[in-house]
Chains A and B, each alone.
Chain A
Amino acid sequence: MGRCGILDHVGWPEPELAYHMFDNGEAKGFAFESAVAVRQWAGVTLGLGPLISIISPDNARSIALATRLGAVEELHTSHDGEPAIIFRHLAHDDPAAIAQVAI
């Protein structure tokens, strides 16, 4: 259906919660459900703090998902030569994040 995980390539400002769906994998809530699980795992198992997502300003669907996850815009910047918005996710132990895990 798609891929979801933590990326930290060279040049990344910090570890990123990243997701994308394949054709036919969209609009089913899978990305949201996956991202909630990865956010929880990254916090509990890897001990990572609140994660970022690096999103193109043109990527309305990804921005909508980040917002639904409770992430907030932190910085308008450029990434790999392209405009980008850094979103900051909820900490895994934030009550709002825990509530999403339980859904």
Chain B
Amino acid sequence: MMPDCPILTTKRLVLRGPTIDDADLVSQFLTDADRSAGFGGPLSADDAWRWFASMVGHWCIHGYGFWTVQASGTPVGIVGLWNPKGWPEPELGWVLFNGYEGHGYAVEAAHAVRAYAYGTLGMTTLTSNIVPFNEKSKVVARKLGATFERIYENPNMGTDELWRHPAPQDVA
């Protein structure tokens, strides 16, 4: 009984709601100490499964959440809107699975999600939460036109940077 999530398409990518087949891929990311360090990881396999369950449940609670991003039918990451308890405001977030960086997938998917957030959901602003050492994520943020706004304390990540995206009227 998965939530009925909208499908977003870009030139190269399809963004769809989570399926149970994604659980192992998300878990591989979250249990990888190097890759998940900027995402509150690493998690135990048990906690990673619970995080995946929260990714599904987030859609039921908010009506938005993380999509699974597919390139040529293969899941390459998750990108979406995240707003759990303790978050300063709704976040545009991105994760690429191992081996799928460097293709511009995160930027392309995030553009689609931001357009959906500003258009269909009517959000008037968006932020991205980036841990200070996550330079790769800041590259993505800059390509999206986001800029550093302030330091804040995140309940999961500790000291965290809040990046602000361009307003709806300032993005094409």
Q: Is B50's beta carbon under 8 Å from chain A?
A: yes
Docked complex Cα distance between A11 and B43 (Å) = 14
Q: Given the complex, which residues of B lie within 8 Å of A80, measured CB to CB?
A: 46
CB distance from A48 to the nearest CB of B (A): 16
Q: Is A99's beta carbon under 8 Å from chain B?
A: no
Interface of A, helix, strand, loop or mixed by DSSP:
loop
Q: Is A10's beta carbon under 8 Å from chain B?
A: yes
Docked complex Cα distance between A10 and B46 (Å) = 6
In this complex, what residue of A is CB-closest to B52? A10
Docked complex Cα distance between A9 and B45 (Å) = 10
Docked complex Cα distance between A9 and B50 (Å) = 8
Q: Given the complex, which residues of B lie within 8 Å of A10, measured CB to CB?
A: 23, 27, 45-46, 48-49
Q: Given the complex, which residues of A lie within 8 Å of B53, measured CB to CB?
A: 9
CB distance from A70 to the nearest CB of B (A): 29
Docked complex Cα distance between A11 and B23 (Å) = 13
In this complex, what residue of A is CB-closest to B49? A10
Q: Given the complex, which residues of A lie within 8 Å of B46, measured CB to CB?
A: 9-11, 80
Docked complex Cα distance between A11 and B47 (Å) = 11
B residues within 8 Å of A by Cβ?
23, 27, 45-46, 48-50, 53
A residues within 8 Å of B by Cβ?
9-11, 80
Please name the 5 residue pairs, one residue from A and one from B, whose CB atoms are nearest each other, closest first.
Answer: A10-B49, A9-B49, A11-B46, A80-B46, A10-B45
Name 10 extra pairs, CB < 8 A, besides A10-B23, A11-B49, A80-B46: A9-B46, A9-B49, A9-B50, A9-B53, A10-B27, A10-B45, A10-B48, A10-B49, A11-B45, A11-B46
What are 12 A-to-B residue pairs whose CB atoms are below 8 Å?
Answer: A9-B46, A9-B50, A9-B53, A10-B23, A10-B27, A10-B45, A10-B46, A10-B48, A10-B49, A11-B46, A11-B49, A80-B46
